[in-house]
C-alpha cells in the first residue's frame, strides 16, 4: 500500500519550513482507495514570493486547521504504507519535522518518483514533475498546489509500476540496505557506489557539470553519505542539485586538507560559503619592553609584526605559550598568560625562575626566550613531511622551503630520493596562503615527529 503525497510550504528551510497545504492519495497499486487534502495554518507569515508561486496567502489559511489538528488524520492515512513523493526527502523531512515539533515520531518507508523515473525511464533531459508530465502526456492542473501535483504524481507512479523491469527496481529501492531513498534524487546510485573508502577530496557537480561543493574526508564514501543524511537546509538544497560526484585520492588527511583548500580557491563553489570567508587568525610575536625584557605575546595575525607562529584561535595561542613556558622556564606574566599582576602565579606553570620577581636578570631571561624562538623558527625553516601514499606502492610528502609551503607530491617506493633536487621531480607546485599556513601549523604541532630536515632526507 502506498500514500502519494505533496505539500506546499512557507519555504523557510527544512526546520523553519511550515506546511500550508497537504494532499495525500492512498493507492493500492491499481486505484485510489482514500484521499485527504487540506489547507494548513502554518501559524506564521507566508512570504510574498511563495504566494506568487502557489497562490496561497495568509488570508487563505487564516481559518485552516493547524498541523497539530490534522496530525492524527495524516498518521492514520499513512499508517502501514510506503511514503511516495517527487523528490521524497524534501516532503518527508518537512512532515517529519512538523510531527517532531508536536512531540510525535514519524517513520515510514520511502520511495522517490524522481529516482524511480531516472531508473525506469532513462534518457530524459529533465525529471522535474512538470517536464515528466509533458514527456509522458500526464495531465497536470493546478501546478504548485498540493492536490494538483499529487494527482499527477499518482498517474506517474502508476506508469512506473507498470514499466518494464519495475518489479525488480521497486524491490531494490525498498530494500532497507539499498540507500536509494537516502541518495539525492538526481544522482545515479552507481556514481555513489564507485566512491572509495579512502582519504581525499570530492566534488559535488550540478546538471551542467559545474562544481558546487568541494569537501575533504579520511573516508570519502562515508563522508559523502553523511551529507545525504544531514537535514540542514543548505545540505538538502545542495544534495537536491547534485547530479554527479567526482573525487581525487590523497592518501592522508594532511594532503586532503591542502587539496581541498586549493580546489575551493580554484573553483569557488557555491556551497563552500564558510571556506570562502577569510577566517580570523592569530599569531605569536615578540617585543622588548622599556626594562629590556623580551615578551612573547599574541594578537590577530593582521595586527602582528613579524609573526613567529600562526594559530586558528586565541586558545591555541595560549596553549602553545603554556608549552613554551614549561619547556624553556619562561614566565607566564611575560608571555601574557597572566595580566595585571606583580608576579606570576599560574596554576600549572611553576618553573618560572624569577624574572617577574626581580630575582633573574633580563639578560638571562632573554637568552631563554631567544632559544625558544630560534628553535621554533629553525624547526619550520626547511622541512619535508612524510605521509601515507594513495596506495601501498607509494609515499606522499609535503615540502616547506624557507618557511614557505611549496606543494605536495607522491613518490613510488622503488624510487631513491635523498636530495631536494630529486624530490622536486615529484612535486606538484602549490600556492601558499593563509589556509595552507594554518593547516601546516596545526599539523606540525599535532605531529612534530613527521617533519624531516633536509639533511636527513631519505625516501
Q: How do 211-217 and 244-249 pair as beta strands?
A: unpaired
Q: Are residues 194 and 58 in the same domain?
A: no
Query: Same domain, yes or no, for 389 and 309?
Result: no
Residue 181 belongs to some domain of the structure: no
Cell of 81: 504504507
Encode burial over 141-169: b for 16+ CB neighbours within 10 A, e otherwise: eeebbbbbbbbbbbbbbbbbbeeeeeeeb
One pLDDT digit (tens) per residue for the chain, 459 residues: 999 999 999 987 666 789 999 999 999 999 999 999 999 999 999 999 999 989 999 999 999 999 999 999 999 999 999 999 999 999 999 999 999 999 999 999 999 999 999 999 998 888 999 999 999 999 988 888 999 999 999 999 999 999 999 999 999 888 867 677 788 888 998 999 999 999 999 999 999 999 999 999 999 999 999 999 887 778 888 998 999 999 999 999 999 999 999 999 999 999 997 665 567 788 899 999 999 999 999 999 889 888 888 887 899 899 999 999 999 999 999 999 999 999 999 888 999 999 999 999 999 999 999 999 987 776 657 889 999 999 999 999 999 987 789 999 999 988 887 777 888 889 999 998 878 888 998 898 888 888 887 666 666
Host domain of residue 452: 383-456
Among residues 236, 257, 274, the one where a domain terminates is 274
Claim to verify: residue 343 and residue 297 sit in the same structural domain:
yes
Pairing of strands 2-9, 82-85: parallel
- pTM > 0.75: no
Q: Are 57 and 44 in contact (CB under 8 A)?
A: no
33 and 147 assigned to the same domain: yes
Residue 81 domain flag: yes
113 and 196 both lie in a single domain: no
Domain contains 259? yes
Domain count, the chain: 4
Closest CA to 38 of 52, 56, 51, 50: 56
> Residues 425, 429, 435, CA angle at the centre, nearest 5°?
145
Q: Looking at the structure, do residues 32 and 162 belong to the same domain, yes or no?
A: yes
In Å, how far from its chain's centre is CA 352?
Answer: 44
Same domain as 144, residue 8: yes
Do 127 and 169 belong together in one domain?
A: yes
Spatial neighbors of 38 by CB under 8 A, at least 6 apart, are: 21, 22, 64, 65, 70
Examine the domain organization and report whether 163 and 73 are in the same domain. Answer: yes
| Three-state SS at 12 | coil
Phi and psi dihedrals of 73, rounded to 5? -70, -40
In a domain, 182, yes or no: no
DSSP state of 406: E
- Of 253, 274, 295, the residue that ends a domain is 274
Residues 387 and 261 in one domain: no
CA separation, residue 387 to residues 246, 306, 443 (Å): 23, 30, 12
End-of-domain residue from the set 357, 377, 397? 377
Distance, CA of 177 to CA of 118 (rounded, Å): 20
Residue 84's CATH number? 3.30.420.10
Q: Residue 202 domain-assigned? A: yes
In a domain, 146, yes or no: yes
Amino acid at each position: 500500500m502506498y500514500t502519494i503525497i505533496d505539500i506546499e510550504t512557507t519555504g523557510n528551510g527544512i526546520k523553519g519550513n511550515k506546511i500550508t497545504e497537504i494532499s495525500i492519495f492512498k493507492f493500492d497499486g491499481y486505484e485510489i482507495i482514500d484521499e485527504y487534502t487540506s489547507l494548513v495554518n502554518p501559524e506564521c507569515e507566508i512570504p510574498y514570493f511563495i504566494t506568487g508561486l502557489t497562490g496561497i496567502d495568509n488570508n487563505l489559511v487564516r481559518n485552516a486547521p493547524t498541523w497539530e489538528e490534522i496530525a492524527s488524520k495524516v498518521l492514520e492515512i499513512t499508517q502501514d504504507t510506503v511514503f511516495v513523493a517527487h523528490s521524497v526527502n524534501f516532503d518527508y523531512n518537512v512532515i517529519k519535522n512538523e510531527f517532531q515539533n508536536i512531540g510525535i515520531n514519524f517513520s515510514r518507508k520511502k520511495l522517490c518518483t524522481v529516482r524511480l523515473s531516472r531508473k525506469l525511464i532513462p534518457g530524459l533531459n529533465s525529471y522535474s514533475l512538470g517536464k515528466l508530465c509533458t514527456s509522458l502526456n500526464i495531465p497536470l492542473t493546478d501546478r504548485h498546489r498540493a492536490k494538483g501535483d499529487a494527482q499527477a504524481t499518482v498517474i506517474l507512479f502508476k506508469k512506473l509500476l507498470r514499466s518494464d523491469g519495475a518489479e525488480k527496481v521497486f524491490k531494490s529501492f525498498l530494500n532497507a540496505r539499498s540507500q536509494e531513498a537516502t541518495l539525492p534524487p538526481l544522482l545515479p546510485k552507481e556514481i555513489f557506489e564507485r566512491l572509495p573508502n579512502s582519504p581525499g577530496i570530492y566534488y559535488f557537480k550540478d546538471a551542467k557539470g559545474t562544481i558546487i561543493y568541494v569537501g575533504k574526508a579520511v573516508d570519502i564514501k562515508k563522508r559523502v553519505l553523511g551529507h545525504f543524511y544531514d537535514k540542514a537546509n543548505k545540505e538538502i538544497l545542495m544534495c537536491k542539485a547534485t547530479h554527479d560526484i567526482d573525487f581525487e585520492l590523497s592518501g592522508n588527511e594532511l594532503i586532503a586538507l591542502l587539496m581541498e583548500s586549493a580546489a575551493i580557491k580554484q573553483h569557488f563553489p557555491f556551497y563552500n560559503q564558510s571556506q570562502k570567508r577569510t577566517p580570523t587568525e592569530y599569531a605569536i610575536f615578540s617585543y622588548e619592553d622599556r626594562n629590556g625584557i623580551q615578551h612573547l605575546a599574541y594578537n590577530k595575525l593582521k595586527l602582528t609584526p613579524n609573526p613567529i607562529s600562526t594559530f586558528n584561535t586565541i586558545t591555541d595561542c595560549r596553549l602553545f605559550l603554556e608549552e613554551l613556558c614549561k619547556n624553556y622556564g619562561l614566565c607566564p606574566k611575560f608571555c601574557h598568560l597572566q595580566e595585571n599582576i606583580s608576579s606570576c602565579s599560574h596554576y600549572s606553570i611553576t618553573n618560572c625562575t624569577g624574572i617577574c620577581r626581580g630575582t633573574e636578570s633580563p639578560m638571562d631571561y632573554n637568552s631563554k626566550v631567544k632559544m625558544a624562538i630560534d628553535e621554533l623558527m629553525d624547526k619550520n625553516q626547511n622541512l619535508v613531511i612524510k605521509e601515507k601514499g594513495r596506495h601501498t606502492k607509494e609515499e606522499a610528502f609535503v615540502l616547506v622551503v624557507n618557511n614557505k609551503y611549496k606543494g605536495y607530491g607522491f613518490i613510488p617506493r622503488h624510487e631513491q630520493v635523498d636530495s631536494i633536487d630529486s624530490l622536486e621531480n615529484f612535486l606538484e607546485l602549490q600556492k601558499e596562503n593563509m589556509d595552507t599556513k594554518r593547516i601546516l601549523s596545526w599539523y606540525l604541532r599535532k605531529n612534530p615527529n613527521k617533519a624531516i630536515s633536509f639533511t636527513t632526507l631519505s625516501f
